[in-house]
Amino acid sequence: MTDIFSRNKRQLLLGLLAFFIGRVWVATMNPFGVALFVCACSEKKGRGWVLGGTVLGMMTVMQGPTLARYYLLLAVLWFVDYIRRRMRIRRQQKYVMAFVAGGVNLLMGIGASYLAY
């Protein structure tokens, strides 16, 4: 019983931490929330709490196309993690998610700047 309670407390604490990290913006970038979610993808439980906390934290600070870009990035990462887990790809899982996050973020930045000008 105490193991279940401590695990739930840990997930709740991670969600709260994700909320505050999701609020951190450097100019118009939020690399910290995305990085925390990518790290949470290597865990078996608690990814939903981290994603929810990050999304809510971002929502309280930023708005518009920048926010939509990060929502789309987190949705793509959630989908890639889902596919990775269904295919049972376990080797180098942290590196796969990190490279996907960096690549998708780079492509979205290039696309956003192309559309802006």
Contacts of 46 (CB under 8 A, 6+ apart): 10, 11, 14, 15, 40
Single-letter code of the amino acid located at 22: G
What's the pLDDT band for 7 if we cut at 50, 70, 90?
low
The model carries a pTM of: 0.78
pLDDT of residue 6: 65
Pairwise CA distance, residues 38 & 70, whole Å:
13
Render pLDDT for 9-68 as a digit per residue (tens, 0 to 9): 888 888 899 999 989 888 877 888 888 888 888 777 788 889 999 999 999 988 887 788
The tokens of 116 are what?
Answer: 């802006």
